[in-house]
Amino acid sequence: MNFKKHTDSLLEAVTLGDLAVALGASVQAVRQARAAEGSSSHRSPPGGWEAATAKLARKQAAKLVALAARLEASPPAP
């Protein structure tokens, strides 16, 4: 079991780029949708953002559940 490899997996984050791809939008559009409401840079989020974001969250959660299972199945290091 490789400590760095598995902890890298734990620390992987979903990026704005990942979210933009899932939403079929540009990174800039995602940034603007995330800006504070009322600010001049705020824009409405892309349509269907809820379902696309939920799908991305479930994918990330599945990766973490699989990592936990691999770690729990591994014998402890000496």
Q: How far apart are CA 26 and CA 11, in angstroms?
A: 24
What pLDDT sits at residue 24? Answer: 97
Write down the domain spans for the chain. 3-73
What pLDDT sits at residue 14? Answer: 95
pLDDT tens for the chain, 78 residues long, are 789 999 999 999 999 999 999 999 999 999 999 999 999 999 999 999 999 999 999 999 999 999 999 999 988 877
Task: Compute CA distances 60 → 9, 15, 38, 73, whole Å.
Answer: 10, 11, 31, 20
